[in-house]
Amino acid sequence: MTEANAPTPMLDVRGIDVAYGGIRAVRKLNLHVNPGELVALIGANGAGKSTTLRAICGLVPLAAGAIHYKGQSLAGQPVHSMVREGLVMVPEGRGIFPQLTIEENLSMGAYSRSDKAAIAHEVEQVYQRFPRLAERRKQTAGTLSGGEQQMVAMGRAILSKPQLLLLDEPTMGLAPIMVDKIFEVIEDISKQGVTILLIEQNARLALEVSQRGYVLESGELTLQGPGHELLHDPKVRAAYLGE
């Protein structure tokens, strides 16, 4: 596809710098995510992956650069307005409300919606996707296992009707069987047309499901390309796949 015919990115990150004190956590970072794409951002701990997502959502300020979502600058946009526009993040650590029940946590995902019948239908779809949550719907979320809490976080995000879903380490600390389940859900959400930017330490799985990928090292992008190509890149295999 020529540059002239390239689609307008849903997310366009242009030359951003993010600094904590005197430390530049992200440097001159450029990335984009086209409508309908599933794009992975991989890297070691401390590479700046989560900082990048937090910058996109306006949770940390930019020292330089710009971020555009659906062609509009996100500068100064409050988080609640981003959610209403379809930009939704599942943060590292899940960010659920531990004192609320599963049902109540899910309903928080739809707080900006008024289509009650559709919400009720989609809640039941979440329960069909995650039967374990259906069995425990009246249980407080803080008493759930890590995998169950991640199910709640994913379900809540789905109820927000995301157009662009930002996933920050969704399988961190989970048992292998739960990792597989979460990746099944990520692929399913992607197939339904939701655009996804995925940060994930399991580089192999992330690149296997992604159309494109970026590699972040010490706050700078060092590699980018189709997921299947990065999966077979010798540098990626040595650094992130244990080969």
Residue 2, pLDDT score: 45
Structure tokens at 237: 């295999």
Query: DSSP assignment of 23-68, as one string?
Result: EEEEEEEEEEE-TT-EEEEE--TTSSHHHHHHHHTTSS--SEEEEE
Percentage with pLDDT > 90 across the chain:
77
Average pLDDT over residues 122-150: 93
Domain count for the chain = 1
Within-domain flag for 221 = no
Within-domain flag for 135 = yes
Within-domain flag for 112 = yes
Residue 5, pLDDT score: 63
Within-domain flag for 147 = yes
Within-domain flag for 102 = yes
β-pairing verdict for 212-217 and 38-42:
parallel
Domain containing 109 equals 96-159
pLDDT > 90? residue 20: no
pLDDT > 60? residue 63: yes
Within-domain flag for 4 = no
pLDDT in tens, 106-134: 999 888 788 899 999 999 999 999 999 99
Q: Do 56 and 11 meet the contact criterion of CB atoms below 8 Å apart?
A: yes
Q: Which residue has the higher pLDDT, 21 or 202?
A: 202
Within-domain flag for 9 = no
- Listed in sequence order, the residues at least 6 apart from 161 whose beta carbon sits closer than 8 Å to its beta carbon are 86, 113
Residue 220, pLDDT score: 95
Structure tokens at 226: 């189709």
Within-domain flag for 208 = no
β-pairing verdict for 38-42 and 195-199:
parallel
Q: Report if pTM > 0.85.
A: yes
Query: DSSP assignment of the chain, as one string?
Result: --GGGPPPPSEEEEEEEEEETTEEEEEEEEEEE-TT-EEEEE--TTSSHHHHHHHHTTSS--SEEEEEETTEE-TT--HHHHHHTTEEEE-TT----TTSBHHHHHHHHTTT---HHHHHHHHHHHHHH-HHHHHTTTSBGGGS-HHHHHHHHHHHHHHT--SEEEEESTTTT--HHHHHHHHHHHHHHHHTT-EEEEE-S-HHHHHHH-SEEEEEETTEEEEEEEHHHHHT-HHHHHHHS--
Q: Do 91 and 85 meet the contact criterion of CB atoms below 8 Å apart?
A: no
